[in-house]
């Protein structure tokens, strides 16, 4: 058949009672956590949703605000709780983490978040042992790796939002330039969700017509390269203007969650542990992956050109350098 497309065998199916309510937990009710909650509520994603935060007043206020919108959407039971109330959850979404302090290095921030995760992740697993863990906190690739290490769960059940948002930004900007619906355009950002991310130009296409080839005029290639720079710098530009990003990641995470809950086997650039024979070392990063009820079911064996392969290896090395300095 077409087994050569995939880098490892499919995960065995998880048996789910179709009559059991779908239950989710969001840890962290900051701007990102609440954008995810709002997007999922208006898209009728869960039957039950538990929000968790150490700031009890804010948590209760956010939940009250969502609850009072229930007359306008399909019903979802929303509660302000703890991880104990999350027992039986299908998915736990982690958006909690420390904010970067003035003068603090990226590694310092990583280590402070890992210290938080040392307490948080074992508690998540204790109360929600069957859940899939979806990491959104940044730096998402490193923290996805940390969550996998700390959870003891199979790597297929610990994934990060990865470059799903970057890929969405990429498609949107390309679609704007080319005057097509973004859903009709196939293009991916792979690697780190961050400065070393890689545009997968060699397979970017509309209905099989590739966008970026050796025959593409130099001026057109420069315009496409500029679009990638806009993608890579998008978060910086949004944060400079409004202080944070929230809406797009809320929608992106909702798509990941729906792919899992509905067993869609949808190809998404989530972050997950790379299979050994991919040759990138023991890191979590993003490649097009099949996402369904088991979490990351399979990782696609994508055909990279020499430039893309070199850039992806450099991205993996950047992440591994940070991981090697973490004190677990």
Q: How many CB atoms lie within 10 A of CB 135?
A: 29
Please tell me whether residue 324 adopts helix, strand or coil conformation. Answer: coil
DSSP readout, 38-50?
A: HHHHHTT--SEEE
Q: Residue 107 in contact with residue 98, Cβ under 8 Å?
A: no
Strand order in the sheet with 295-299: 266-268, 289-292, 295-299
SS3 111: helix
CA-only gyration radius of the chain, Å: 19
Question: Would you name the residues annotated as active-site residues?
Answer: 193
**What is the distance between the alpha carbons of residues 21 and 76, in angstroms, rounded to a whole number?**
10
The beta strands (E) that lie in the chain are given as 23-27, 48-52, 77-81, 91-94, 132-135, 158-160, 189-190, 198-199, 205-206, 209-210, 266-268, 271-273, 284-286, 289-292, 295-299
SS3 content of the chain, % helix, strand, coil (to 5): 45, 15, 35
């Amino acid at each position: 058949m077409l087994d050569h497309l995939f880098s490892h065998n499919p995960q065995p199916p998880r048996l789910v009672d179709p009559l059991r309510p779908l239950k989710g937990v969001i840890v962290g009710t900051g701007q990102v956590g609440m954008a995810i909650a709002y997007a999922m509520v208006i898209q009728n994603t869960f039957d039950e949703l538990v929000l968790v935060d150490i700031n009890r007043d804010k948590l209760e206020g956010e939940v009250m605000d969502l609850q009072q919108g229930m007359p306008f959407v399909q019903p979802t039971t929303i509660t302000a709780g703890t991880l104990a109330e999350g027992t039986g959850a299908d998915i736990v979404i982690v958006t909690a983490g420390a904010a970067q302090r003035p003068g603090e290095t990226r590694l310092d921030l990583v280590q402070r978040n890992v210290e938080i995760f040392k307490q948080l992740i074992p508690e998540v697993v204790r109360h929600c042992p069957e859940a899939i863990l979806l990491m959104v906190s940044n730096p998402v690739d490193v923290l996805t790796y940390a969550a996998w290490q700390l959870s003891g769960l199979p790597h297929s059940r610990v994934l990060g939002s990865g470059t799903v948002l970057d890929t969405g930004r990429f498609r949107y900007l390309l679609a704007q330039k080319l005057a097509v619906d973004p859903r009709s355009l196939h293009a991916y950002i792979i690697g780190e969700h961050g400065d070393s991310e890689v545009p997968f130009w060699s397979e970017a296409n509309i209905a099989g017509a590739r966008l970026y080839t050796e025959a593409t005029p130099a001026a057109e290639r420069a315009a496409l390269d500029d679009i990638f720079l806009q993608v890579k710098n998008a978060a910086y530009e949004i944060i400079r203007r409004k202080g944070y990003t929230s809406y797009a990641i809320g929608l992106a995470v909702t798509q990941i969650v729906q792919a899992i809950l509905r067993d869609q086997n949808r190809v998404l650039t989530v972050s997950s542990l790379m299979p050994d024979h991919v040759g990138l070392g023991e890191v979590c990063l993003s490649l097009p992956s099949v996402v369904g009820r088991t979490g990351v079911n399979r990782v696609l064996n994508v055909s990279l050109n020499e430039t893309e392969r070199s850039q992806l290896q450099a991205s993996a090395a950047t992440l591994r350098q940070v991981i090697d300095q973490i004190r677990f």
